[in-house]
Each structure stands twice: as structure tokens, then as C-alpha cells.
Amino acid sequence: MTDSSDSRPGGRQFQVEPHGLDVIGDAERKGTPRTLFWPWFGANVSVLGLSYGAFALGFGISFWQALAAGAIGIVFSFLLCGFIAVAGKRGSAPTMVLSRAAYGVRGNRLPSVISWMLTVGWETVLTALATLATATVFGRLGWGGGTGTKVAALVLVGALTVVGGVMGFDLIMRLQTVITVVTGVLTVVYIALVADHIHWHTVSAHPTGSAQEFIGALVFMMTGFGLGWVNAAADYSRYLPRTSSSRGVIGWTTFGASVAPLLLLVFGLLLAGSSDTLSKAVAADPIGALTTILPTWFLVPFAVVAVLGLVGGAVLDIYSSGLALLSAGLRIPRPVAALVDGVLMIAGSVYIVFFAGDFLGPFMGFLTTLGVPIAAWCGIMLADLALRRRDYHEGDLYRPRGRYGDVPLTPLLLTLAATAIGWGLVTNTAANWLDWQGYLLGPLGLGGTSGAWAYANLGVLAALAVGFLATLVLGRGRVHRQEREATGRTANEGAPIA
């Protein structure tokens, strides 16, 4: 890289990021924790946040319950991202490489595959939503919203996402700054234009739901926001200097990621709570449904804010999915990995846009099902990070015979056990291919798959807690042994392996 210490826009020409799974050298570490605000805000300022208001009320709870569930779920889940982001500045490697300290060099391929599936799934969902939103806008304008429009929109959105993922860190950071400003301003305008559609007497009339329904909404918010990002949380903080404040990394990651979703959720709850028609329409087309209450003249700016916001999230996902694919064992350059994921993303988007009859059911099934093993991984990773008193030994992150080991059984068995417990405590009746889940709800006296606890999604919380607490107990000795080993070896000794 030329002049990699210059982080100003225009300070250097764009080029493809050469880094893959390798550790970022001291000369290329730059910025302060405050710079983390831009990628995290840009990735989460999408107007999809408005649709989560309808999703939350769909659990049968009141406005105030939905607000509490959303606020707790969003902030807590992004706080988990903040903690894992600290690992990035302590190890200067991608998240799924740092995870090798807990799982071993080759044992880490299991969570890497899960991480890859989650990020590819998310980038596919965001790309499909951007395509559907564009088609809806063009249809309302009378410019055509059929197959041709959808194909053109999918090509444009896919190209923006893939180019960002292939180019890498520097372009993404600059792109997210632009997305933050543009989408932030236009979203405020959208809120002002549709504010008269809010009817507080209708919103406040929503009946109070049960504790189980509240917990279900809370967990859905966690999986829809922070738990969808934890497996990538250190991919951007790894470029910070080692001396950066850990509190700053946690704070700016949490704040940057949470502030837009919180504001959008409040307004989304007010809109969805004011109209059952809008709330139901969101389930089929979460972004496009929001155009039905807009004046015609703002439809094009709305399309811009919708597409940019969704692309902002998809770009971060495709970048991290490429890194996860490499960490899973595929030996190809990082840009090629991002390109491979881009092809899969477009194929999945084609299915959602042109063939899937329902969006919300499969989406909730996807979030909950993959949310369980990711929650288990997150608990294990957080506990492992909490137990460490020293920075990672960079060289051993790439050596099966190093201090972190090759395939340690304890974290792998713990992940499988936590996932099995988690899947036994969630249900996904909206997605028929997942109706095997919930097998522990009956034996544990929780009413079975049709009882009051069926939709509380306790399995996500259980997997997170089991992974964290069991690692604190079972992993303490292993971490202490690792940190007692001699530290005289050179950090970059040996050739990294994927």
C-alpha cells in the first residue's frame, strides 16, 4: 500500500486491499477508536430498521414492551460486538483468525463455516431487499416495476456490493462515511414527511403481551442486529494501533452501531402501530411497503436512501464473509473469496426476489437457526477473551503446533452441546424445513412447540450463556497454560496457513 498512514479522503488512490488473514503490521495500523463510528453507523442506518417496528409488534406486545425489547436487544447485542472488537486491536487479525486462540488453528474451521453462512445469508437478504425496494419505487412512479426493473436493480446493487468487498478496507471505510451522511439526512427527511401518519391513540391501544412474547421480541432484536455482526466485529478494529483505548473501541463500536437502529425502531413502532395494513405489508416487502405512505416526489430520494443503507450493510458482510471463507480453509486470495461470495449472494437474491413467496417466515427462521450457534461461539469467544491477560501471540494463530493448538476438543464439543440445547429451545413454524426444532420445550416442562414459551426463542440466550459460563470454568486452565509459555519466539515466525 502506498502511504498507508494517510487516512484522509483523497489522500491516496484506491487499490485492492492486499491483506487476507495476515496480521496488520504496525506501519499500517492507523486511526483512533472514534473512526469505528463510520463503518458501524453506515452499516446499520438502513431504513430496514423502520421495519423492525412491525416485526416487534408482530410478537403481540404493546408499544412500550416493543420499545423496551428493541432498546435492550439492540444495545446489548452491539455491546457484545464492542467487546469482541477489542480482540481486533489486541491481535490485528480478522475476527475468525483471532477465534483460533479459543478453538485451535484447524478446530476453528467449524465456527468459520458457520460465520461464513451467516454473513453470506445477511448480504443476500440485504441485496434482495434493495432490489425489491427499487422495483416498488419504480412501480409507483409508473416507470415499470416488473422483471426488467428487478434484474437491473439486482445487477446494480450486486455490483456495488461486490466491488466494495473486493476492493477491501480503505474503500469500505470511505464508502461508509458517504453512506452515513447521505442516508442520515434523507432518513430524517423521510421521517418528517410521514410523521402525520402516526396516530398515538391507535399505537397506545395495542394490548400488553405476555412475558414470553416480550422475550421472543427481545431475542429477535438481538439476532437481527448485534448477533448478526459479532462474528465480524474485529475485522475493522484490527487496523487500530495496539495502544488504542479498549474502552474507546467498545464505546464507539456500540454507539456507532446502535444509535441509528434505536431511532429508526422508535419511529418504525409508531408507524406500524398506527396502521395494521402497513404492518402486514412490511412482512412481504419490508422496505417497499414504507413507500406507500410517501409523496410521489420523494420516491426517488427514498430509493437512494434505501439502496445505500442496505448496500452499506451488505458491503461489510461480503468483506467479512470472504475472510471467514479463507479461515474455513479455502486457499485463495481474499478478493477472489469476496467474489465467490458475491456470486452466491446474487444467486440467493434471485431466489428471494423471483421465487420466494414469503419473506418474513424464512428470514426469521434463518436468523434464529444460525443465531444459536453464533451465540454459542460468541459466548466462548467472550469468555476466552476475558480470561486472557496478554495480547495474542500472532505467529501461533497460524501454527497448528503453536500454543493455541490444532483441534482442541473442549471448545468444539461445547459449541455442539450449546447449539443442541439452543435448537431444542427455539421454534420456527413459519419455515417448514425447521419444524424439527423445539425438541426440549416439552421435556423441560415449557409447554412443547405450541406452548407459551414456544416463540420466546430461549435457545439463543441459552447457547450464549452456556458457551460463556462453561468456557470460564473449563477454559481457564488452558488459557493460563498458553500464557505461561515462552514469549521469546518472533510474533511473525512461520508461514501463515489458512
Q: 145-192 pLDDT, tens per residue?
A: 788 989 999 999 999 899 888 887 778 778 778 887 888 888 889 989
Going by pLDDT thresholds of 50, 70 and 90, the confidence category of residue 13 is low
Q: What is the pLDDT of residue 490?
A: 41
Q: How far apart are CA 97 and CA 21, in angstroms?
A: 7
Flag whether pLDDT at 23 surpasses 50: yes
What is the average per-residue pLDDT within 316-334?
Answer: 90
- Distance (Å) of CA 341 to CA 178, 338, 345: 24, 5, 6
Distances, alpha carbon 93 to alpha carbons 32, 37, 220, 232, 320, in Å: 17, 19, 30, 11, 12
Place of cell 405476555: 210
Q: What is the three-state SS of the chain?
A: CCCCCCCCCCCCCCCCCCCCCCCCCHHHCCCCHHHHHHHHHHHHCCCHHHHHHHHHHCCCCCHHHHHHHHHHHHHHHHHHHHHHHHHHHHHCCCHHHHCHHHHCCCCCHHHHHHHHHHHHHHHHHHHHHHHHHHHHHHHHHCCCCCHHHHHHHHHHHHHHHHHHHHHCHHHHHHHHHHHHHHHHHHHHHHHHHHHHHCCHHHHCCCCCCCHHHHHHHHHHHHHHCHHHCHHHCHHHHCCCCCCCCHHHHHHHHHHHHHHHHHHHHHHHHHHHHHCHHHHHHHHHCCCHHHHHHCCHHHHHHHHHHHHHHHHHHHHHHHHHHHHHHHHCCCCCCHHHHHHHHHHHHHHHHHHHHHCCCCCHHHHHHHHHHHHHHHHHHHHHHHHHHHHCCCCCCCHHHHCCCCCCCCCCHHHHHHHHHHHHHHHCCCCCCCCHHHCCCCCCCCCCCCCHHHCCCCCCCHHHHHHHHHHHHHHHHHCHHHHHHHHHCCCCCCCCCCCCCC
Select the CATH number that applies to the domain covering 26-484 from these four: 1.10.10.10, 3.50.50.60, 1.10.4160.10, 3.40.50.1100.
Answer: 1.10.4160.10
Give the chain's length: 498
- Range 463-479 average pLDDT: 96
* The C-alpha cell that represents 158 in the structure block: 450486486
Mean pLDDT of all residues in 386-413: 93
Spatial separation of the C-alpha atoms in residues 38 and 234, rounded to whole Å: 15
Quote the CA–CA distance of 387 and 379 in Å, as a whole number: 12
Cell digits of residue 71: 432498546
Cell 468487498 locates to 165
Q: Which residue has the cell 469476496?
A: 338
For 177-191, 321-335, 375-389, which range has the lowest pLDDT when averaged over its residues? 177-191
Q: How high is the pLDDT of residue 431?
A: 67
Cα separation of 485 and 100, whole Å?
17
Write down the pLDDT at residue 488.
47
Answer for the pair 93, 24: CB distance below 8 angstroms, yes or no: yes
The cell for 238 is 484490527
pLDDT of residue 360: 62
- Rounded distance between C-alpha atoms, residue 127 and residue 454, angstroms: 31
Cell numbers at 28, concatenated = 499500517
Residue 408 C-alpha cell reads as 482442541
pLDDT over 50 at 428, yes or no: yes
Burial class of 298 by CB neighbour count within 10 A (0 to 12, 13 to 18, 19+): middle
Confidence of residue 358 (pLDDT cuts 50, 70, 90): low
pLDDT in tens, 100-119: 999 999 999 999 999 999 99
- pLDDT at 174 (0 to 100): 81
Q: Measuring CA to CA, which residue among 83, 408, 107, 372 is closest to residue 248?
A: 83
Q: How many CB atoms lie within 10 A of CB 389?
A: 8
For the record, the C-alpha cell of 116 comes out as: 461464513
pLDDT in tens, 217-273: 999 999 999 999 999 999 989 989 989 999 999 999 999 999 999 999 999 999 999
Q: What is the SS3 string spanning 243-277?
A: CCCHHHHHHHHHHHHHHHHHHHHHHHHHHHHHCHH
**How large a percentage of the chain has pLDDT more than 90?**
55
Tens of pLDDT, residue by residue over 270-318, are 999 999 999 988 877 788 888 888 898 998 888 888 888 888 888 888 9
Q: Within 13 Å of residue 253, how many CA atoms lie on the same side as its CB? A: 32
Q: Where are the domains of the chain?
A: 26-484
Whether pLDDT at 6 is above 90? no
> Is the per-residue pLDDT at 24 higher than 70?
yes
pLDDT averaged over every residue in the chain: 88
Work out the average pLDDT over 408-418: 97
Confidence (pTM): 0.87
